[in-house]
Chains A and B, each alone.
Chain A
Amino acid sequence: MKYLDEFRNRRLALSISAKIRAAAPRRKINLMEVCGTHTQSFRRFGLARLLPENIKLISGPGCPVCVTAQGYLDAAIRLAQNKEVIIATFADMLRVPASRSSLEREKTRAGNIRMVYSPLDSLGIARQNPDKKVVFLAVGFETTVPAVALSVLAARKAKIRNIFFFSSLKLIPPAMAYLLQDKRLNLDGFLCPGHVSAIIGLEPYEFIPEKYGVACCVSGFEPLDMLEGIYLLLRQIACGRPKVENQYRRLVSRKGNLKALRLAGEVFCVSPGLWRGLGVIPQTGLRLKKEFSRFDAEKMLGVSYSQDTAGKDKKNCRCAEVLKGLIQPLDCPSFAKICTPAYPLGPCMVSYEGACNAYYKYG
């Protein structure tokens, strides 16, 4: 078993689709996913066509690049303009438009921006450039948090003096609570993110059915995973018995990855988080703990961003509403006209995990 093809069987997908149609309540049902990889998978495999018309899977703020505040990008660009600094970043961040520029444009001008696959790669860049300050742009959700934590610990162990971490790391479950306050969304269920859940387990979602009566199911990313996850959600909704179910049992356990959680807790503490399109959401950000201050770009390099410097979306950009799930990309008048992956107005069209990017590529 290779854990991919087995979960892409077309005949089984069509069979589950038929079961979904039979099991689904007749009224309009709004489900939301909060993971950019779910967004991509759903569009890439054409799963919307396998659902009845009254069942909607809305794309929420699950793309960490898309929900990074514009002010954070502006701050990163100011850093990049300093010749003593090398920026290390995941590739997705490069083309996101900031207020006046982008990291890609700055890379062309100054050349001191490097793409990395892993936060650990930034340590290698720091070692190779001892006269420069290397700043890693830490953008991601709980899936990425332990990886960044381990990189900070590795930097401390190796006594690397010229590496810094600029955190825009965010936590998903409190953001889901925030979304549930918005009655415009009228949510019946959440398809919960598979790899975030591999780290955090199922317990952080339990308040959702308990307090809000909304169904939850953790799901993997292959077509059969998502279809089974949607089927399980609809079964909960039809029975009126919301709970947290786990479709992704081959990877996700009830308690999550305790070692990864312990490592994350060793390095980070919770703070308010600033989300593009959603504003400040309490308890959703992560900051380096005091004992790691010497790796904190905000403390050591005088860079910061806040609600005041968050920046406004460009005129004609409706990313904020797309991120909240209030509109679909097709509802944005700029979509595929003045906003395309080659010439994006906002992050949702740039990022691989952005809703607009997924709709543009796959329909």
Chain B
Amino acid sequence: MCLAIPMQIKSISGDFAEAASGSLRKAVNIQMLSAVKPGDYVMVHAGFAIEKINPQKAKETLRMIDEISGRVPQPAPGAKHQR
């Protein structure tokens, strides 16, 4: 039961936020998160935001996928490579 969808926080009211994914709008409980603000993306499961999505790390993942696929050259051996 890992089913969850990424949604963007539109507004916050106490323990709940209005979150959006496309035309879908839902009230989502944000009590599992310490700091969340409008504009943040969160992963929503069973009406709860279980974690914030880190946009920088998402970009890094896509860059690594590009490297693995060969679209972008991989760093030379010994170069610092963050995982």
Contact = CB atoms under 8 A, between A and B. Distances in A.
A231 B43 contact: no
Given A12-B66, A228-B68, A251 B46 contact: no
B68 A249 contact: no
Contacts of A144: 1, 45-46
A257 B1 CA distance: 17
Range for the number of chain A residues in contact with chain B = 35 or more
A12 B3 contact: no
A251 B54 contact: yes
Given A245-B83, A251-B53, A15 B71 contact: yes
Interface stretch (A34-42, A180-188, A324-332): A34-42
A146 B3 CA distance: 15
Interface string A246-271: 11011110000101100100000000
Interface stretch (A46-54, A107-115, A191-199, A208-216): A191-199
Interface of B: 1-4, 6, 29, 31-34, 41, 43, 45-48, 50-51, 53-55, 57-62, 64-66, 68-71, 83
12 contacts: A3-B53, A6-B62, A7-B62, A12-B66, A146-B50, A150-B48, A198-B50, A224-B65, A250-B54, A259-B33, A353-B2, A353-B3
Interface of A: 1-4, 6-7, 12, 15-16, 18-19, 35-38, 62-65, 90, 92, 117-121, 139-141, 143-144, 146-147, 150, 193-196, 198-199, 221, 224-225, 228, 231, 245-247, 249-252, 257, 259-260, 263, 352-353
